[in-house]
Amino acid sequence: MKLSLVVPCYNEQGNVPLFYEAVKNDFDGVDFDYEIVFVNDGSSDGTSAELKNLLSGEIPVKIVNFSRNFGKEAAMYAGLEQAAGDYVTIIDADLQQRPSIALEMARILDEEPEYDCVAAYQESRKEGGFMTFMKKSFYRAANAFTEIELMPDASDFRTFRRNMVESILSLKENFRFSKGLFTWVGYNTKYLPYVVEERATGESKWSFKKLLAYGLEGVISFTTFPLRFPVYLGAAGILSSLVYLIVSLALRFGSHHALTAMNAVITLILFFGGALLMSVGVLGEYLARVYVQTKGRPIYIAKEILTNEEEGKNG
Ligand code: UDP
Ligand code: MG
């Protein structure tokens, strides 16, 4: 068995040597092979040099140097592509996620064949009340609007079996929201509670603005509802124009109120406003299909195919 650690690094010069040492200590004496795949996501500090130093160490190391900063999503994809292990762990460089937990994850996959992935989740968030509230609300909204169910508080810190890695790599969409993709591919995931450590050195790369954009990406990647929404609004507009017309006519004949030009104008505005919105929604329906199709996700993912046919024998 071989385990690959995939480590996205963006300006982590202080953490790279610490991370390497931590792995060396925690993995000391394990009875399987392992490697570290560092993806240097266009760091502007000394990360690249620190990584190069590790090539002379005893742990097998692979380094992917990006030409610029492409973001953690791209770094994770590149790392999964380069990882050769039967098990692959995605883990941050800042030691907020202890490498020893990756060992625990691998042990679970060894002992519990029904699971294809072990994902760490934070039992209690260390962030302030506002951030916790925002993240909770995000997951609630995402789960309500999208086709996938996200586990709140689960991170990208996960260990996959090889077959699941291949499935994730088969999703080639450019706008990636991995937490959603990990769920989308299916398989059985075991959630493992863990405690997030303080960052060893440096600062978090996530600003509130970045998180907001990331969250939006997550929802948009997994639902086409916003594109189709105008259909409902338009239908409501047309319906209310009809109701308004009926009420106006009823008043005209019931109590001999004169029909005014205003009645006609309001009816027409509601009707054509609704008709326009509905047409936008119909366009949205088509666009939604184009959008889904261009992502080129597989139609299905088979976990395994069983047969009692002997190989090479037909019929
Ligand atoms: N990271 C990256 N590219 C980026 C931003 C972050 O590869 O554009 C890496 C970063 O080096 C770290 C991991 O992603 O190893 C998580 O980033 P960070 O610690 O800033 O996030 P947080 O732990 O605060 O959620
Ligand atoms: Mg971090």
Per-residue pLDDT reduced to its tens digit, 106-165:
999 999 999 999 999 988 776 777 878 888 888 888 888 888 888 888 889 999 999 999
Beta carbon of 92 within 6 Å of any ligand 1 atom = yes
pLDDT score at 275: 96
The bridge status of strand 117-122 relative to strand 2-9 is unpaired
Cβ of 10 less than 6 Å from ligand 1:
yes
Cα angle value 130/133/138 (rounded, 5°): 125
The per-residue pLDDT for 312 is: 64
Q: Which residues neighbour 170 within 8 Å (Cβ) at sequence distance 6 or greater? A: 298, 301
Protein residue with least CA distance to atom 8, ligand 1: 71
- Tell which atom from ligand 1 comes closest to the C-alpha of 96: 23
Choosing from 176, 205, 207, 212 the residue with most ligand 1 atoms within 8 A of its CB, the one to mutate for a pocket test is: 205
Sheet holding 33-40, edge to edge: 61-65, 33-40, 2-9, 87-90, 154-161, 117-122, 189-194
Q: How far apart are CA 3 and CA 32, in angstroms?
A: 8
Sorted by sequence, the CB contacts under 8 Å of residue 70 that are 6+ apart come out as 41, 42
| pLDDT, tens only, 32-86 | 999 999 999 999 999 999 999 999 999 999 999 999 999 999 999 999 999 999 9
Spatial contact of 35 and 4, defined as CB atoms under 8 Å apart:
yes
Tell me the per-residue pLDDT of 246-286, one tens digit each, with 9 for 90 and over: 998 888 888 877 778 888 999 999 999 999 999 999 999 99
CB 80 within 8 A of CB 165: yes
pLDDT digits (tens, 9 = 90+) for 199-212: 989 988 888 888 88
Ligand that lies nearest to the alpha carbon of residue 38, given by its number in the listed order: 1
Kindly report the pTM of this predicted structure: 0.87
Ligand 2 centroid – CA 71 distance (Å): 14
- Reduce the DSSP state of residue 107 to 3 states and report it: helix
On whether the CB atoms of residues 36 and 59 are closer than 8 A, the answer is yes
Q: Measure the CA–CA gap between 16 and 50, rounded to whole angstroms.
A: 7
Find out whether the beta carbon of 12 lies less than 6 Å from any atom of ligand 1.
yes
